[in-house]
């Protein structure tokens, strides 16, 4: 299942819409009840911009073009089923997409994009400037491959990045943020967001269907769900509870550039390190799944993980 962009969104985004369409994946795999071996690449937070470095956060925006090229060259040398970018392809400028699109077109594997907060902000401002304004797309989807169900969630569903063409969603997000701030929640930050009720219902139905099909479940998102952190999804507890209830094998996120890992019951919550951080470090990963065994081979400063 993959929600298509509306004709208005497709027209307004132009070539950038390539990042928000689902390629063909898993055609070489026959449908299976027992999960087979799957390998995929993971990138997080390239956050490219033609901008000077931010020394406070050690972010080298221009360097991300070189880092992306290096990572894509390495991924192209490997046998992979697909590659996922876990959000924040760009930092702030609409023009930045024109610089990174040729790099991603060199990738020889199917590519999936999770929408990050910087992506959502950049896209939303561009779409709001259309005549008439166009709303920020909803970007959550799922697909099956070799006995696994892969699910991507959209944490910008309720966020301050929604524009006037998204109806009452930004005011609703402001109320949710204010309530969380009043409770002292550490994730109550304006740069985070939440899944709305419609997406939560969709997620539970998708998880239930995957369990009925006896598929192992892997979930991707931009905002972390665990451990507790100020970068987490506003309603991370509700989403994590769903993943635990349906025994998801792993959740992969970005956004928290330092990275992290926590296992809760049988689910591993893994946050990749941000590519934009550091002048030369190029963190990315290749994940191999075989049944419930998960191996993450890290490149650059990304840590290895072998989880059973």
Q: What is the pLDDT of residues 145-169, one digit of tens each?
A: 999 999 999 999 999 999 999 999 9
Residue 300 has a pLDDT of: 97
Domain boundaries, the chain: 37-307
HSE at residue 35, side-chain half, CA atoms within 13 A, is 22
Q: Is the per-residue pLDDT at 14 higher than 70?
A: yes
Distance CA 75, CA 65 (A): 15
Residue 26 backbone class (left: φ over 0; alpha: ψ -120 to 50; beta: rest): left
Q: What is the pLDDT of residues 244-258, one digit of tens each?
A: 999 999 999 999 999
CA dihedral 85, 215, 33, 35 (to 10 degrees): 50
Q: Is the peptide bond before 145 cis (omega within 30 degrees of 0)?
A: no
Q: Is residue 265 packed enough to be buried (19+ CB in 10 Å), middle (13-18) or exposed (0-12)?
A: exposed
Q: Is the per-residue pLDDT at 36 higher than 90?
A: no
Nearest to 53 by CA among 108, 14, 91: 91
Assigned architecture for domain 37-307? 4-Layer Sandwich (3.60)
Look at 32-36, 126-130, 281-285 and tell me which has the smallest mean pLDDT.
Answer: 32-36
269, 227 Cβ separation under 8 angstroms:
yes
């Amino acid at each position: 299942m993959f929600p298509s962009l509306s004709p208005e969104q497709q027209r307004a985004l132009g070539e950038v819409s390539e990042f928000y369409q689902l390629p063909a994946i898993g055609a070489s795999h026959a449908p299976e009840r027992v999960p087979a071996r799957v390998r995929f690449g993971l990138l997080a937070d390239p956050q490219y911009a033609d901008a000077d470095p931010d020394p406070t956060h050690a972010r080298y925006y221009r360097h991300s073009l070189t880092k992306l090229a290096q990572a894509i060259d390495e991924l192209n040398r490997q046998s992979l089923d697909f590659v996922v970018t876990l959000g924040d392809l760009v930092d702030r400028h609409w023009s930045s997409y024109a610089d990174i699109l040729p790099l991603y077109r060199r990738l020889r594997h199917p590519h999936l994009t999770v929408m990050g907060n910087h992506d959502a902000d950049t896209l939303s401002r561009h779409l709001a400037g259309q005549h008439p304004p166009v709303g920020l797309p909803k970007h959550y989807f799922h697909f099956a491959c070799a006995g696994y169900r892969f699910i991507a969630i959209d944490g910008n569903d309720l966020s301050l990045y929604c524009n006037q063409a998204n109806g009452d969603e930004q005011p609703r997000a402001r109320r949710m943020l204010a309530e969380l701030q009043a409770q002292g929640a550490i994730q109550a930050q304006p740069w985070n967001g939440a899944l709305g009720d419609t997406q939560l219902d969709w997620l539970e139905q998708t998880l239930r269907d995957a369990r009925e099909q006896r598929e192992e479940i892997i979930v991707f998102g931009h905002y972390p769900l665990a451990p507790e952190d100020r970068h987490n999804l506003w309603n991370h507890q509700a989403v994590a509870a769903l993943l635990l209830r349906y025994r998801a094998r792993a959740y992969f996120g970005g956004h928290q550039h330092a990275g992290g890992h926590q296992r809760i019951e049988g689910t591993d919550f893994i946050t990749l390190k941000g590519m934009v951080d550091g002048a030369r470090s190029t963190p990315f990963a290749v994940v191999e799944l075989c049944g419930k065994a998960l191996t993450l081979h890290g490149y650059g400063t990304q840590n290895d993980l072998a989880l059973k």
